[in-house]
Amino acid sequence: MGLRPNLLTRRAAGVASTTLALLLSTAAVGVVPAASAFSAAPGGACAEPTDSHTNARVRPGAASTHEPNELTAKQVREREADLATALRERANFRAGAGATTLATVTIPVVVHVIQRDSTRAGGNIPDSLITSQISVLNQAYAGGTGGAATAFSFRLDKINRVTNPSWYPIVDGSSAERSMKSSLRVGGKSTLNIYLGELSDDLLGWATFPQRKLSSMDGVVVLNESLPGGAATNYNQGDTGTHEIGHWLNLYHTFQGGCGGSGDSVGDTPAEASPAYECPTGRNTCSAAGLDPITNFMDYTYDSCMYQFTPGQASRMLTAWNAYRAA
Ligand SMILES: [Zn+2]
């Protein structure tokens, strides 16, 4: 514990992490370690059933003892079986009622800015960071930073500012998170709800995977200062948002499953034994072909290090969209 840089003193240095976790050591970030303000964070995320399991991004050495978004091999098998079921259901639905299979998708986005008060430290980030985040998402998902072009683009429909100290910070897996989401979530399966705030447990963000039955928990939680131009050093170019939305669109981490088995269920992301942090050029942790995919958005490296999805990931996301989220 205590690895999470203190937000108040480190507003200028950056913090956070969460469910689809990317953790940075305090030393690596050059900030003064401080006792976690959120030591009472419930550890419930990992105990939740697979269908509500979330996925996170954390910094190395973060306070959380586990990664809420790390899936076991059994959970991955269950999710892959569920995807196959969802695809069968869709195919039957299309045959009967003529649902459309989409090749390009514009995702409506609603951003909920959770605030403790009207100060920046209390979560009051400017609209300009949010519009910059949407631009980063559109670039990343269009392949504009060097990766594969995906089917997805993002349209900001609304910024919803909510001052509620009992929801701030946002604590992964807490009853407060459930209360927040059930109060605020809008739209159907295809609407992306993003919740911004200070986060528990050194998390940068977390997300839910798609489910056949829409849950009020569906959405993405992102550290407010990770937005482009925010204060989260090394994690302030907006790629936490890119990463978490990758999970929302059904991607696993590139290191899922380690060196063996089906890994992240994507054929063109080389196997990787464990998360990569910072930017370890040339890292190669598995004997299978290919260096570790440290530049992939679904690893845990610095924002400055990650810049791409692969064609296989783009295909997996579109398949999942048509299975789970398309109207
Ligand atoms: Zn993640």
pTM over 0.85: no
Cα(55)–Cα(207) distance, integer angstroms = 5
Give the pLDDT score at 26. 29
How far is residue 168 CA from its own chain's centroid? 19
Task: State phi, psi for 205 to the nearest 5 degrees.
Answer: 175, 170
Distance between start and end Cα atoms, the chain: 44
Strands (E), 59-191: 105-115, 152-163
pLDDT, tens digit (0-9, with 9 covering 90-100), for 95-139: 666 566 778 999 999 999 999 999 999 999 999 999 999 999 999
Give the pLDDT score at 54. 54
Q: How far is the CA of 269 from the centre of ligand 1 (A)?
A: 15
Give the pLDDT score at 70. 75
Give the pLDDT score at 2. 28
Give the pLDDT score at 30. 28
Q: How far is the CA of 21 from the centre of ligand 1 (A)?
A: 5
| Beta-carbon count within 10 A of 138 CB | 15
Q: How far is the CA of 121 from the centre of ligand 1 (A)?
A: 25
Task: State phi, psi for 96 to the nearest 5 degrees.
Answer: -85, -45
Give the pLDDT score at 32. 26
- Looking up tokens 């631009």 gives 135
Locate 6 and state its tokens: 């203190």
Cα(33)–Cα(190) distance, integer angstroms = 40
Q: How far is the CA of 274 from the centre of ligand 1 (A)?
A: 12
Residue ranges of the chain with per-residue pLDDT less than 70: 1-56, 60-69, 94-100
Lateral strand order in the sheet of 192-197: 54-58, 203-208, 220-223, 192-197, 105-115, 152-163
Catalytic annotation, residues: 244
